[in-house]
Amino acid sequence: MQSTAIILAAGMGTRMKSSLPKTLHRLAGRSMLRHLLASCESVFDRIVVVLGPGMDAVRKEAEPHICVVQNERLGTAHAALQAIEHFGDGQVAVLYADNPLIRAATLQRLLDTRKPMSLSLMAFRPADPARYGRVITGSDGLVVRIVEYADATPEERSLRLCNAGVLCGGADEMTRWLQAVRNNNAAGEYYLTDLVALARAEGREVRAVEAPADELAGVNSRNELSRAEAVLQGWMREEAMTAGVTMVDPASVFLSHDTKLANDVTIEPNVFFGPGVTVESNVTIKAFCHIEGAHIGTGGIVGPFARLRPGATLEKDVHIGNFVEIKASHLAEGVKASHLSYIGDTSVGAATNIGAGTITCNYDGINKHRTKIGANVFVGSDVALVAPVSVGDGAILAAGSVITEDVEADALALARGRQVQKPGRAPEMRSAAQRLKESAQAAAKKEVN
């Protein structure tokens, strides 16, 4: 029998104060919806996402999973009902896209804990229970009822076990209970939590599966989004360090959901990883680097204050220094670019040295062009290579050159104007400049008077 996850994602998230649907806001470079989908994909056989009308961007984010539309927002039970034809014949769990941090192991425990013909719900103990609904249990540990904060007595409010909203039951029971929910409440909505009372009325067990509060806290505002980011970053840092990564100041390192760090990588403070980064072993990333869409080979050194943009591939023992930017470029083994350079749309051969201030001029205002620099090339300081251009192996490019034509292997290329010297001219120029300055000051003073 197949298990099915129903993810409710129809909410617009007005508290986010954003034109972007709530579930598309990102944590560690990935939408909240994709985080939850990733957990569900390793546990459930089928996933159905319930959208609101006109939410094409959310539909695209949910691909390739089934999507159904809740045309009228009449409550959570009504939303789950829209997916009823996809329930199948196994277990059905209803989750919320704004609970993005539920881990796969927790979802698996939810399925494994539920007994046949019963209902399970997820519960947690937040540090501040605040206005969460409370889960009331009996002496046997089974759930008796859920009471909303507004309806709870002072004694019930003192309880710390709170409802996370996630429910799991057999497909037949979930279908029957959802169809039996009524909207006789102040809001006129069909509430998913009513399933607890319906199951109890049939004499069915309702069991609370307790999970860590960090996994179950909802995200409904920018403040809550930032707290979820902090939780997720903490998990990823711990996982990386457990696997052999050194972080000098873990709290200042920001990882993406897909960052891959090998053992014996050292990361100094204030480093940001965007999506698509792989770092091989024995790499040092110095402070204040920004890295996304890049591959860093074994033994590399990057930074401080370096930027690796998408398409940057650094092979073994490449050294990238301060204020160097690499984009859509391949740097072969042993390349060094130590200072103040931009390398874009370029291939650089092994053991080549890129001097300070080097720029590959890859954009002509309309199209991007590539530069090819061979192996064992020495590029002097302040060299501009105007693409498309090719430099052969072993060539030397003299400092200050503007290279506009291909350079042969082992050639010395000089492309700069001849220096002209005028003896004694400097004092004359300083005197002339001083007279102009005094004249301008006198005119300004006269105008004021």
**Three-state secondary-structure class, residue 229:** helix
* pLDDT confidence of residue 238: 98
Backbone φ, ψ for residue 263 (5° rounding): -70, 155
Q: Which residues of 87-111 are buried (b: 16+ CB within 10 A; e: fewer)?
A: beeebbbbbbbbbbbbbeebbebbb
| pLDDT of amino acid 254 | 98
Residue type, 34: R
Matching residue, tokens 């709170």 = 162
Q: Is the dihedral of CA 195, 200, 201, 203 positive or negative?
A: positive
Confidence (pLDDT) at 13: 76
**What per-residue confidence (pLDDT) applies to 187?**
80
Alpha carbon separation from 154 to 79, 145, 365, 389, 405 (Å, rounded): 32, 16, 69, 77, 82
Q: What is the pLDDT of residue 390?
A: 98
Residues in the chain predicted with pLDDT less than 50, given as ranges, are: none
Question: CA-CA distance, 105 to 26, in Å (whole number)?
Answer: 22
What pLDDT is stored for residue 48 in this prediction?
98
Active site residue 369: no
What is the tens place of the pLDDT at every residue in 190-222? 999 999 999 999 999 999 999 999 999 889 999
Given CA atoms 310, 315, 316, 321 in this order, what sign does their dihedral have? negative
Query: Which run of H or E residues covers position 312?
Result: strand 312-314
Q: Which domains does the chain have, with CATH numbers?
A: 4-216 (3.90.550.10), 222-413 (2.160.10.10)
Strands (E), 52-188: 66-69, 91-96, 119-124, 134-137, 143-147, 162-170
- Which one is catalytic: 257, 290, 330, 339? 339
H/E run at residue 58: helix 56-62
- Confidence at residue 417, expressed as pLDDT on a 0 to 100 scale: 86
